Amino acid sequence: MSNYSETLYSIKERVHGLASDADCMAPDNWDSNAGVHLREEGEASPGARLLISVRDDFVNSIEETLSDADFGPDGDALTELEHFEGDSLHEIADGAPSVYTHERWQQFTDLGAWQQDISDFGEITDLTNAAGIALYEIAKTLLYTLLTEVREAIEADQEESNDEDEDEDLKS
């Protein structure tokens, strides 16, 4: 199994580490499908749903983006990844915070989003928009962490492929 495949599998299976990857507080309750701490009704908390949704959207988008990519030493996988970083990453982060005010504030409190520095976004005049910006920043941090893992895995695959090519050249 390639480094890329192993990394993607690891990301797909990751639940508890998502909060750490996003540099936010761990949500109250995780996904019922993962068999971890649940609410009485067996539902993940709003913050957990946001992180899991970002993870799932990332995996689906990255798989689609790299489905036809060449992972060889001269392949285009890293170039495709750069295109993904420029476009899809921000779309996923932008869609992460709920558009519903009540749920957005639940996500905000569940993930401790008040700890996010959103001063780069200018003067805050609407607190609900500010909560959305903080949640966007959490989603963006998670996405960049996952993207870095995927990039490193692709680079390792390309390096291994290059080493194999060099070994074959030495044998001939």
**pLDDT digit string (tens) for the chain, length 172 residues:** 688 889 998 898 887 789 989 999 988 876 545 444 444 445 788 999 999 999 999 999 999 988 888 877 778 888 888 888 877 899 999 999 999 999 999 999 999 999 988 888 888 888 999 999 999 999 999 999 999 999 999 999 888 877 665 555 556 5
Return the closest-CA partner of residue 54 out of 31, 72, 74.
31
Count of domains for the chain: 1
How many CB atoms sit inside 10 A of residue 75's CB? 15
Question: What pLDDT was estimated at residue 39?
Answer: 42
Give me the domain span that covers residue 71: 3-171
pTM, entire model: 0.84
Residue 123 in tokens: 């003067």
Question: What pLDDT was estimated at residue 128?
Answer: 93
Helical pair 77-86 and 88-95, crossing angle rounded to 10 deg: 40
